[in-house]
Amino acid sequence: MTGDVPNDDMTPTDTATATALSRPSSRSSVRHADHLALLESHAIFVLREVAAESERPVLLFSGGKDSAVLLHLAVKAFRPGRFPFPIMHIDTGHNFPEVVAYRDARVAELSERLIVARVQDSIERGRVTDPGPGQSRNRLQATTLLDAISEHRFDAAIGGARRDEDKARAKERVLSFRDALGQWDPKRQRPELWHLYQGRVLPGEHVRAFPLSDWTELDIWQYIARENIELARIYFAHRRRVVERDGMLLALSEWVTPEPGELVEDTSVRFRTVGDATCTGAVRSQATTLREIIAEVATARTSERGATRADDRFSETAMEDRKREGYF
C-alpha cells in the first residue's frame, strides 16, 4: 500500500479502512448525533437510494480525498455485500504517480471492479483534440466521461463533488439530471423535495448523484480523521520541486517544466485537491499529520479551488460552463 500515511494520536480505535469484507468488532453505544454523524447517515442513504433506483450505476473515483471518503461510505452502505456498482476513474494521463498507486491499492484491497476511461483514448479516437504537451486535459475529461457513460450504458454516476467547492456546484441538486447529450440545465433543475430522490431516467439520460453535497472541506478532513481513512501521500506535506506560475505552485513533472525566467524551488508542500497534474497547484505547508492539516484548513484564507485549481480561474462562471458540457 502507498499508505503508511501519518496519523497521529487522535486516530480512532476503529479499523474500518483495514477491513474489506468483514465487519469490525462490535461497538455498543450510539454515536453522538453531531453534524458529521448526520452527514454520514445521509450520504449512506443517498448511496443506497441511487443503487436501488438505477439500473446501471457507477461510482466515480479520482483518487482524491473526497473520493476516498465516498469509497469509505460505500463500504459502510453495502458491506458485507459487494458494491452494487463498478468504480470508474477518468484518467487524464497527467497523474501524480502516488495517486495512481493509491487508487490501485485501494481497489485491490476492496476487491471491487475498476474501469479506467482514458482521455488519451479519446484523443486517439479523435473525439477530442490534444491541447498539446503540458496543457491541462481537465476540460477534456467531460467527453471521456460522457463516452464511458454511454458505452457502459450507465444511468447514474455517483461523484464526490461538494457544494462548498464552487458557486455553480452550490446550486446543484443531490441527484442532478443530465439529458441525452449529458448536459446540465441549471435553469430547469427538477424540484428535490425532502429526501425523496428520484433517479428514474429515460434511455440515454442519466443522473449524477452527489452524496457529499452538504459536506464542507473541513467536514471531509474531520471525517477522515475520525474514521482513520487512508489517503494518497501527496495530501501530506513533503518536499517537492515546484515553480510558481499564475500565482500557483505547480509540481515539476514530465508535463510541467520550468519556463524561461521561472525559479525552481525545492520546498515543503501539500495538495488540497487532486486533479490533472498540469493545473493542480500545491500549497506551502509543513503539515504532516491530519491534526496539523485540519488546523491549517480551519484557518485558511483561500478557498480550496481558488488556491489550487487553474481550471476555475478562466471566468466567473468557469465551473458552470464546464458542468453544462457534462463535467463532473
Partner 1 sequence: MAPVEPPGASVATDGSGADLLRFAAIGSVDDGKSTLIGRLLFDTRQLFDDQLEAVSAASRRRGIGEMDLSLVTDGLRAEREQGITIDVAYRYAATPTRKYIIADCPGHLEYTANMATGASTADLALVVVDVTSGLREQTRRHTCIAALLGVDQLVVVANKMDLVDWDRDAYENVAQQMHALARRLSIESCTVVPISALHGDNVVDRSDAAPWYEGPTVLEALESAPAGGWEAVHGDHLGTGARLPVQWVLRHGGGRSYAGIVGGGPLRPGDEVVVLPGGRRTTVTGITTYDGSLDEAPVGMSVAVDLEEDFDVSRGDLIASVDEPPLVTSDLEATVCWFGSQPLRAGDRLRVKHTTRVAPARVIEVLSRFDVNDLTLVDATRLSDNEIGVVRLATGTPLVVDPYRTNRVTGSFVLVDENTNATLAACMVGSPPLAESHIHLVR
**In sequence order, which residues have a C-beta less than 8 Å from that of residue 219 and are 6 or more positions away?**
35, 36, 39
Cα–Cα distance measured from residue 84 to residue 74, given in angstroms and rounded to the nearest whole number: 9
Q: Counting contacts by CB under 8 A, is residue 193 touching partner 1?
A: yes
96/271 with CB nearer partner 1: 271
Nearer to partner 1, 96 or 223 (CB): 223
Helix (H) or strand (E) holding 50: helix 35-53
DSSP state of 328: -
Smaller CB distance to partner 1: residue 39 or 99? 39
Site for partner 1 in 30-49 (CB under 8 A): 30-38, 40-42, 44-45, 48-49
Under the binding rule (CB under 8 A), the answer on residue 203 touching partner 1 is no
Instruction: Name residues contacting partner 1, limited to 120-179 (CB under 8 A).
Output: 163-164, 166-168, 170-171, 173
Q: Contact with partner 1 (CB under 8 A): which of 121, 267, 317, 325?
A: 317
Beta pairing class for 248-251 and 238-245: antiparallel
Q: Is 62 helix (H, G, I), strand (E, B) or coil?
A: coil
Beta-sheet pairing, 206-209 with 156-158 = parallel
Q: Does 288 bind partner 1 (CB under 8 A)?
A: no
Minimum Å distance from CB 320 to partner 1? 6
**CA quadruple 233, 236, 237, 241: dihedral sign:** positive
Pick 16 or 100: Cβ nearer partner 1: 16
Q: Largest alpha-carbon pair distance within the chain? A: 62
Tell me the CB-side half-sphere exposure of residue 215, using CA atoms within 13 A.
Answer: 28
Cβ–Cβ < 8 Å for 37, 29: no
Q: Is 86 in the site for partner 1 (CB under 8 A)?
A: no
The C-alpha cell at 193 is 423535495
Q: Which of 18, 180, 218, 264 binds partner 1 (CB under 8 A)?
A: 218
Classify strands 264-271 and 57-60 as parallel, antiparallel or unpaired: unpaired
Least gap, CB of 231 to partner 1 (angstroms): 15
Name every residue whose Cβ is closer than 8 Å to that of residue 199 and which is 6 or more positions away in sequence.
Answer: 49, 50, 53, 54, 155, 156, 175, 207, 209
Residues 89-118 that bind partner 1 (CB under 8 A): none
How big is the site for partner 1, counted in residues (CB under 8 A)? 84
User: Least distance from C-beta 235 to partner 1, angstroms?
Assistant: 15
Taking a C-beta distance cutoff of 8 angstroms, is the pair 159, 73 a contact?
A: no
**Which 8-27 positions form the footprint of partner 1 (CB under 8 A)?**
10, 12, 14, 16, 23-27
Q: Which stretch binds partner 1 (CB under 8 A): 58-66, 90-98, 152-160, 189-197?
A: 189-197
> Taking CB under 8 A as the rule, does residue 284 contact partner 1?
no
Residues in 221-260 that interact with partner 1 by CB under 8 A? 222-223, 225-226
By CB under 8 A, what part of segment 65-84 binds partner 1? 75-81
